[in-house]
Amino acid sequence: MMCDDEIEIENHEKYKEINSFPVVLEIEAHHVDSLTYNDFFDKFMVKNIPVLITGIADRWECMNWVNTGENCRINFEYLKKTINVNQDIPIANCSKVYFNSHEKSEMQFGQFIDYWQTQIQQNERESSNLLYLKDWHLRHNQPDYGFYRTPIYFASDWLNEYCAEKKADDYRFVYMGPKGTWTPFHADVFSSFSWSTNIVGTKKWIFFSPHEEDKLRDGLGNLPFDMNNEIYQCRIHERDIRFFEVIQRAGQTVFVPSGWHHQVWNLEDTISINHNWFNGCNIHCIWDALLSKFNAVLREIDDCKDMDGFEEHCQLMLKSDFGLDFRMFLDILKTILANRLNILQNNAKLVLNEAKLGREHAIYDLNAIHRVLTDFSTKCPLEELQKSSQNMMIQIDKIVR
């Protein structure tokens, strides 16, 4: 594997404490040629601030999915030639609500392309059956098709590093949708970071910094499903809720920080590549979200606390509801810990998304793990995991403390 890039920071000592997150009322825009990894790390990732980056996808193979100088911007023939049209894909119907989500189904990729082309050919598009291809694991399904490269800014990706080692489903997705498709109001899975690159088309984003979304809750504590609802439009103004909008065009990448609620609309026929991920900059956010969900589970089944195996039952419910439990969370940290110790103890080379991880960055990662484990070891109810987390802290202390 070619490895010409290095993800490195200037000095891990600078980041020994967790930053408080500043209030942001607009998004900065930068070109990839003038934004170094260290600058992105220092100004945006550590501080949990969104940013719009231009030029990332200029040389990606998937730019061949786009026609230039034609009325139809999507190169459907190229898509059908390079992607298995018989594979099943996940579809959301943006015209139908099912509980707190859009109605989900599956169809073959070729069928979706036929549907999309029919939509484009109609003078007035069918709005009662708006289908959106979402959360499609194309890279996992066709691993030999190198249609993009993870941008260096997002290469330190503990979630997908772990998934790759465990040969589990990843959190790397392709989205394809006709004009008018949209994603409801939400924060990303696990309270993770996400990044989204538009290959073709235009998206409109609305962003709320962490905790501003709480001002939108109704009397039962529920958040909006669709911010286009007049009730929530009024509530934004009545309660002086801070937010901002972003128009993302083809070739631009949006970095979405942890805990930022947002809603996204496709203003044109749009294709994007998206990842969810976390690392040392936001692992404390993941832990806080996991712990909060665990405490909610405890409250929900408090009347069963005397049952045999109560703690393990709580973990099962946590895994089902949140996607992570304490055991899996600690296993992720163990994987990252082992890989970072290998760099520092054995001078090993670790390549993440075609970029080498630097030593200062490895030390930063270990310190971030240690901070989370300090809290984990006192609040995890499972004794075996408490002991394991304490042993992990001892390992880190021997190297960096």
pLDDT in tens, 334-391: 999 999 999 999 999 999 999 999 999 999 999 999 999 999 999 999 999 999 999 9
By C-alpha distance, which of 175, 139, 79, 43 is closest to 353? Answer: 139
Query: 19 exposed, middle or buried (CB, 10 Å; 0-12, 13-18, 19+)?
Result: exposed
CA distance 264 to 32: 23
What residue ranges of the chain are covered by domains with CATH 2.60.120.650?
20-277
The amino acid at residue 178 is: P
pTM for this predicted structure: 0.95
Instruction: Write out the chain's pLDDT in tens, 401 residues.
Output: 345 689 999 989 898 877 777 778 899 999 999 999 999 999 999 999 999 999 999 999 999 999 987 666 899 999 999 999 999 999 999 999 998 899 999 999 999 999 999 988 886 666 778 999 999 999 999 999 999 999 999 999 999 999 999 999 899 999 999 999 999 999 999 999 999 999 999 999 999 999 999 999 988 999 999 998 888 888 898 898 999 999 999 999 999 999 999 999 999 999 999 999 999 999 999 999 999 999 999 999 988 888 989 999 999 999 999 999 999 999 999 999 999 999 999 999 999 999 999 999 999 999 999 999 999 999 999 999 999 999 999 999 999 87
CA gap 63, 386 in Å, rounded: 48
For residue 233, how many other CB atoms are within 10 A of its CB?
Answer: 12
pLDDT digits (tens, 9 = 90+) for 178-224: 999 999 999 999 999 999 999 999 999 999 999 999 999 988 999 99
Report pLDDT for 321. Answer: 94
Fold (topology level) of 20-277: Jelly Rolls (2.60.120)
